[in-house]
Chain A
Amino acid sequence: MCDRHQIGESEHVNIAVDPGLTPQAPLPSPAVISAAAVSKSWGTTPVFTDLTANIPKGITGLLGSNGSGKTTLFGMLLGLHDRNGGSLSVMGEDPATAGPELRQLIGYSPEHHDLPVDVAAQDFVRHLAEVHGLPKHEATTRSSDALWLVGLGEERARPIGTMSTGQRQRVKLAQAIAHGPSLIILDEPTDGLDPVQRDDMLELIRKIGTDYGIDVLLSSHLLEEVERIADNVVIIADGKTVAAGRIDDLQIGQGGAVVVLDDQHEAVARSIHEAGIAVRIDGGRLFVGNDEPIEAIGAVVRDAVATHEASLRRFGARQQSLEDLFLHEVHGE
């Protein structure tokens, strides 16, 4: 069930007047990344045949099975690999031609965790901020800010080699946002984190995507995470975009509802059936109705459960989780 707590569109006065973001009603902001029929192959093996997607501002999840070319796509967005065909624009520029200028405005956090072992986190982040175009003094202050923001304030002078996986992931995030990018690309940002560390990291990425006004494109295998913090999603498989758009639009309800009881399964099911709504028992769960509105189903279920004084553990509309969507779209299961 997608229980993403919706942060209201915060009253965001952005010093740099970003045309797309005005306090009243946000105008249809231009797509950060737009790809049309992009094709790419390594030698003879094709990776993308028809990649088409418009990635709007905000946080976007890039989903795909292992080997579906996510890392290649990131490379193309950064202008590191040229594509074989189709048109691709990042922040209005073509990465193949405007590579260096674009890469100045993009923060990239790679999938691997190996970072310089004997370099202090502060020097590492400052150096990469300079490399992304910040003058020396600006790089020093902003790298320190970035490390405080990701929660590594005290440890910023420590060599990265002495840091845990959780801390290294934060260092990678800090170097991605330190130089004031407009877009950050995060490859598996929660890989190797335990649940508590993962929550903190997701909260951080959420804050970056909303309060700091930086657009985020992240890849992850844990779809429950993407559901929790992303606004939009792009699913790629067999070289094509299989689904793209806002998560809420994509997650069309499968219709009907799920009722989880501790007891009286048959009795309640019978009452629901007598009230004229289809019901199916599977394990401890009742699948009620198919496309009736939740209001109708709700009333019948409430009365059926009440009359039999059954113990109601959970009840709600059958929401297609992102994982169901992914498995369906990518593998037709």
Chain B
Amino acid sequence: MTNVPTPQPSPPVATRPTVSASTAMPAMIKRILPAVATRGRLLALSAVGLAGILIGLAVRNGDQIDDFAATEFISAFGLTIFVPIVALVIASATLGTLREDRTLVYFWLRPIARWQIVLAAFIAGLMILVPLAGLVMAVLAATVGDGSDVAGAIVATLVGVVAYGAMFTFLGLITKRALAWGLVYILIWEGFIGGLSRFAGRLSIRSYTTSALSRIADDPSLLTNPETTPVIIVITAALTIGFLAAATVYMNAMEVD
């Protein structure tokens, strides 16, 4: 057997990532999707969606419905409960399951840039959230409202799914109890603090989804002064990029087991 060799530094090896995003990311997305879209999760979330739609039906043939009540209901059920919860359960599971069953190492210890892993997880989340949440919210809006409500609900859902998706993907990476902390954010921060003042409202994603709904379904009663569309878009983009960047930094510095 060779004895202990004398230490000589060998020629430097490429330090930059040697695998491009175009090859790595599709493969990772393909791997993350089945781990997140488990039967249990999909069943539970569609059940919640169905319950919402049933209640919508109940409210409708309770025959005291009018246009403003429709957006009221979409915002109350959809944007306050359904969209955030669905986003939390799915998005926190993307990096969360990888970390919990210790398979993250099979992505982490590879010559690829770390932001690709984060982006792949985020996109995988969206690929589940957009159809699931979008469909349920569209049907919900259709049962209680008219065309503009449906359009408003869909756009608001998109805004919510993107912003919440990024935040909860990050949350799933940094803590094992992502569900618990996510619920704290949704119920306490958005539910309670968000309502205190207009400024406090701006610190919660819900104000932007609700603004999007009220803008498109043109129902000013939802919010005192809803944000303008460009503001919604800029804020959502900023939040998304911010959370994904934070996740990348965290992933570079973390200890993987």
A–B contact, 8 Å CB criterion (strictly below) = no
